[in-house]
Structure 1
Amino acid sequence: MNGLEAVAVLLAGVAAGTINAIVGSGTLITFPTLLAFGIPPITANVSNNVGLVPGNVSSVLGYRAELAGQRDRLLRLGAASLVGGLVGALLLLRLPSSAFDAIVPALIGLGVLLVVIGPAVQRRVAARAETRGGVPDHGVWWVWPAVLLTGVYGGYFGAAQGVLLMAVLGIGVADTLQRQNATKNMLALVVNGVAATVFLLVAELDWTVVGLIAAGSIVGGQIGATVGRRMPPAVLRAVIVVVGLTALVVLLTR
C-alpha cells in the first residue's frame, strides 16, 4: 500500500467512525475503499471489523451521558448481541469464500436500501415514541431475538447494522432517539468486539489496514458524537448510497 492509498484508508476510517456514531453504515465506506486497493474481500472484511472496534469505543464514550440509567437494558440486549456476533463471525470463517462473494452484494444492497428508507423509519420511530410517552423500558418480547439476528448479520458483514438496530429499538423500545442511538452504539460495539476477538485468534488480517482504520475511526467516533450531529442527514445519506452502489458495481464486475 503506497502513501496515497494509506491516506485514503485513514480518511475512510474517519468517515466510517463518524457515520457509525450517527447512523451506523460506516462499513459501506471502508469496505469498498479496501476492495478498490486490491485487498481480498474476506481479508478486507475482517481487517475492517477489527479496525472499527476502537471507533465503536470512541462513539460509546461520546454518548456516555445518554447511556445513564440503561444498565439493565444493556446487559439484557448485550447478551443477544454477544451471541449473534459470535455466530456471525463463525459463519464468516466456516462458510467458503465463494459464499461470502455471493452473499455480500446482497447484504450491501440491503444496507443501501436501509439507508435510503432510513428517514421514513425514523419518522415512524419518533411518532411511536411520542404515542408511548417516551417512557424507558426494556422492549417488547421480540426485541431480544431481533437484536440477536442483527448481531449475526453484524458479525458476518455489518454494513448498516446500526440502521437495523435503530429500527428494532425504535419500534420495540420506548425511549428518546438519542438514548436509543447510544444503546445502538453499545450493542454494535459488543457485536464488533466479539467478532474481532474471533478474527484476531484465527483469521488473516492486514495489520496496516487495521491500524489505519482504527486511528481514523477513533477520530471519527468523536466527530460523530459532537459535530457530526449537526451535519445535514441528507448529504450524509447520499454519500453512503453512492459509495454502496459503487461497491456493488465493483463486486459484481470483478
Structure 2
Amino acid sequence: MSTGDVVLLVLAGAGCGLVNSIAGGGSLILFPALLVTGLPPLSANVTNSVATWPGYLGGVGAFRNEIGERRHLLPPLLAATLAGSITGCVLLLVTPSSAFDVVVPVLVLVATVMTALQPVVRRRLKDSAGADHRPTVAAVVGVFLATIYGGYFGGALGVIVLGVLGLTIKDSIRNLNATKSVISLLDATVSVVIFGLFGPVDWASVLVAAPTCLVGGYIGGSIARRMNETVLRVCVVTLGAVVTVALFLKI
C-alpha cells in the first residue's frame, strides 16, 4: 500500500465515521476510496463493512439511555436482524464476484438515492404521543428484508432501517433512531464475523481506516448540532452519483 493510499484511507475513514454520525451514507465515501486503492469491488465491499464497525459502536453509546428505555422492543427486531444479516452475507459470499461487479453500480445508486431522500423520510417520521409496547409483524419483516440488503452491501442501511421503523412502529424519532443504531451495530457485527472468517477482507486497509472511522464517528456525534447537514448530504450524494456513473461506465 502506497503512502498516498494510506492518506486517502485515513481521510476516507474519518469522513465515513463523521457522515454516518451526522447524516448517514458514510459508506459512499469509504467504499469508492477502497476502489481507488485498487481493491476489486467485492473485496472493497467486505473491507468497508469490517472497517465501519467501530463507528456503529460509537452510535450505540450515544443512545444508551434511549436504548435502555426501549429494550423491550429489541428482541424480535434483533432476531430479524440476525437472520437478515446472515442471509445477506451468505448471499454475497456465494455470489460470483463477476455477478457482484455487475450489480454493485445499482447498489451504489440505491444508497445514493436513499441518502438524498433522507430528509423526506425524516419529515414523515413525526413524533408520536404514545409508543408501541412491542414491534409489529410488519416491523419485524421489514427489518429482516432491510438487513438482507445490509449484509449484502450496507450503503445507507441506517436510512432504510429508520424508514422501516418509522412506518411500522409508533414512537418518537429519537427513540426510533436509537433502535436503528442497535440494529445497525448487530448487522455490522455479523458482517465482521462472517466476512472476517470467510470474506476477502483487506486487513491492511481495515487497520488504516477503522481507527479513523471511530474517531470520525465520535467527532461527528459531538458536532452534529452545529454542522450544516444539508451541505454535507449534498456533498455525499454528489460523490455517490459520480461513483455510480464511473462504475456503470467501468472507468
TM range (shorter): over 0.9
Among 187, 193, 208, which residue is 1:197 paired with? 193
Post-superposition offset of 1:66: 2.3
Asked whether the equivalents of residues 162 and 188 of structure 1 are also in contact (C-alpha less than 8 Å), the reply is: yes
Q: Which amino acid aligns with 1:236?
A: L
1:216 aligns with: 212
CA distance in 2, matches of 1:233, 1:34: 25
Post-superposition offset of 1:50: 0.8
Aligned positions, number: 250
Post-superposition offset of 1:63: 2.1
Post-superposition offset of 1:65: 2.4
Q: Which amino acid aligns with 2:213?
A: S
Asked whether the equivalents of residues 41 and 104 of structure 2 are also in contact (C-alpha less than 8 Å), the reply is: no
CA distance in 2, matches of 1:88, 1:164: 15
CA distance in 1, matches of 2:225, 2:195: 32
CA distance in 1, matches of 2:17, 2:80: 23
Give deviations 1:149-206, integer Å, cap 9, x for gaps: 1110000001110110110111212222122112111101111111211111112221
Asked whether the equivalents of residues 146 and 161 of structure 2 are also in contact (C-alpha less than 8 Å), the reply is: yes
Asked whether the equivalents of residues 89 and 152 of structure 2 are also in contact (C-alpha less than 8 Å), the reply is: yes
1:173 aligns with: 169
2:34 aligns with: 34
Post-superposition offset of 1:138: 3.0
Q: TM-score, normalised by structure 1?
A: 0.93
CA distance in 2, matches of 1:33, 1:61: 27
Classify 1:230/1:165 alpha carbon distance in 2 versus 1 (closer, same or farther; 3 Å): farther
1:83 aligns with: 83
CA distance in 1, matches of 2:246, 2:198: 27
Asked whether the equivalents of residues 17 and 218 of structure 1 are also in contact (C-alpha less than 8 Å), the reply is: yes
Q: Which amino acid aligns with 2:184?
A: A
2:56 aligns with: 56
1:7 aligns with: 7
- Superposed, 1:40-119 pairs within 5 Å as 40-119=40-119
Post-superposition offset of 1:134: 4.3
Q: Which amino acid aligns with 1:182?
A: A
1:207 aligns with: 203
The CA RMSD measured in Å over matched residues stands at: 1.5
- Bigger shift: residues 136-145 or 53-62: 136-145
Matched, 1:159 2:155: yes
- Using the aligned pairs only, state the percent identity: 38
Q: Which amino acid aligns with 1:7?
A: V
- Bigger shift: residues 16-25 or 203-212: 16-25
- Bigger shift: residues 50-59 or 63-72: 63-72
CA distance in 2, matches of 1:184, 1:108: 21
1:139 aligns with: 135
Give deviations 1:65-106, integer Å, cap 9, x for gaps: 221212221222111111111110000100111221121111
Structure 2 residues not aligned, in runs of 5+: none
Post-superposition offset of 1:135: 2.6
Q: Which amino acid aligns with 1:146?
A: G
Post-superposition offset of 1:57: 0.9
- Bigger shift: residues 111-120 or 90-99: 111-120
Q: TM-score, normalised by structure 2?
A: 0.94
Asked whether the equivalents of residues 17 and 215 of structure 2 are also in contact (C-alpha less than 8 Å), the reply is: yes
1:25 aligns with: 25
